[in-house]
Amino acid sequence: MQVGVLAVQGAFAEHEHVLSELGVSCIELRNAGDLNKPYDALILPGGESTVQGKLLRDSDMFDTIKSQIEGGMPVLATCAGLILLAQHIEGDDTVHLGTLPVTVKRNAYGRQLGSFHTEAELKGIGEVPMTFIRAPYVAEASPEVDVLATVDDKIVAVKYGNQFALSFHPELDSDYRIHKAFVDNIQ
């Protein structure tokens, strides 16, 4: 089993580190040619969603990744990755991959609380550390989306079929249960 980590911008190295701690092999997806390599699941890391969306389009990776996700490939998306998946971005007409029927609010915690750390219950896993960095939250989710975690009544983790998306950054904490649950579900 091999995981493809989108490596055009952002915190991809941290995800690779967690995968290697779990003994899972991964490849970096940096250009369209990398998408021909064998991988069974995708990680979309945090970073800057506008930049990532542009790089995906400019490098001709966009359509392939979108159809892989639509075709059922398991995907773990964190922070900017969640924004890339969202069907709607509040107050913005931009849609990136648009495979996840939610509305996200970018930079949702304002300037004061731009970054913070907490712990909260994640359905199916238990209490986990959550590091938020200029994070989005899910402002609205379609009924078929499974809400996995909320912090202060805001949705911060969802699952929709093969798509698992988080507002926070599990790759920055040393608790690997979220990545483990993700890889354990890959056939």
Binding residues for ligand GLN, per CB under 6 A?
46-49, 79-80, 83, 106-107, 133-135
Residue 186: name the closest of 35, 76, 5, 40 by CA. 40
What's the Cα-to-Cα distance from 161 to each of 57, 101, 124, 134, rounded to whole Å? 25, 11, 15, 26
At its nearest, how many Å lie between ligand GLN and the CB of residue 51? 8
* 17 part of the active site: no
Count H helices, E strands: the chain? 5, 12
- How many angstroms separate the CA atoms of 98 and 113, rounded? 27
The residue among 80 and 183 lying less far from ligand GLN, judged by its C-beta, is: 80
47 known member of a binding site? yes
**Residue 160: both structure tokens together:** 């929709």
Cα–Cα dist 121/56, whole Å: 33
Complex with ligand GLN: residue 15 or 106, whichever CB lies closer: 106
For 115, the token pair is 């970054």
Q: How far is the CB of 104 from ligand GLN (least distance, A)?
A: 9
174 marked among binding-site residues: no
**What angle is formed at CA 126 by the lines to CA 124 and CA 131, rounded to 5 degrees?**
110
Question: CB of 23: closest distance to ligand GLN in angstroms?
Answer: 26
Single out the catalytic residue among 15, 88, 96, 169: 169
| Active-site residue, 171 included | yes
Closer CB to ligand GLN, residue 48 or residue 140? 48
Name the minimum Å distance from CB 171 to ligand GLN. 11
Q: Tell me if 155 is assigned to a ligand binding site.
A: no
Comparing CB distances to ligand GLN, the nearer of 49 and 163 is 49
Residue 133 marked ligand-binding:
yes
- Pick the catalytic residue from 79, 88, 96, 179: 79
Task: List, in sequence order, every beta strand (DSSP E) within 113-173.
Answer: 115-122, 126-133, 137-141, 146-151, 154-160, 163-166
Tell me, yes or no, if 169 is annotated catalytic: yes
Q: Which residues are annotated as a binding site?
A: 47-49, 106, 133-134
Active site residues: 79, 169, 171
